[in-house]
Amino acid sequence: MDDLIETAAEAFEADALPHMHEVHTDPDAKTSEGQTLPKCVAETPVAQKSTAQWAYERTVLYLKKFEEGLDDGHEIAMGFAGTDAGVLRIEGMGYFDPDIVTFYGMDQAGGKMQLVQHVSQLSVVFRALPKAVETAAPRRIGFKLIQDLEQGDA
């Protein structure tokens, strides 16, 4: 407890801001805590967002943070729990208000895939896959998704 005195407006504003907390075994681990949020994520109160938009925005932040830790030989993909669907190399992401999040991409054999997920069932496992052979540089969807959020298109 501290001796900080807040006005009612400051307390209300603090409640509207997203909070995050992480703990890691590696003391040098780079956490997502304290990362600068895109303006549209931070400025729009959570209460004004659909469940799908809020799930989308937070997943984008985690996705980008995961990609920042990849070397040039790997790209982001997602695995599926409890199924033999394999992995989806993430090439796009979106949401459909009020409660659907979707991922677009390809499987390891190059087949087109799309996952449509209700936010109440959202569980994403990020995986690093060797980059696609046909590309010179790894494709980074997280940076494009953050750019989209910053432009306010979401």
79-127 confidence digits (pLDDT tens): 887 777 788 999 999 999 999 999 999 888 888 999 999 999 988 889 9
Asked whether the beta carbons of 80 and 122 are under 8 A apart, the reply is no
Q: Residue 154: pLDDT band by 50, 70, 90 thresholds?
A: very low
Q: Which H or E run includes 130?
A: strand 125-130
Burial degree of 144 (CB within 10 A; 0-12, 13-18, 19+): middle
23-59 confidence digits (pLDDT tens): 767 777 766 666 777 887 888 888 899 999 999 998 9
Q: Where are the domains of the chain?
A: 51-154
Dihedral of the CA atoms 147, 115, 105, 67 (nearest 10)?
50
From CA 122, how far away is CA 154, in angstroms rounded? Answer: 19
pLDDT of residue 46: 86
In DSSP terms, 103 is beta-bridged to: 93, 115
In order of 82, 95, 146, the CA distances from 40 in angstroms are 35, 16, 10
Per the structure block, which two tokens stand in for 2?
Answer: 């501290």
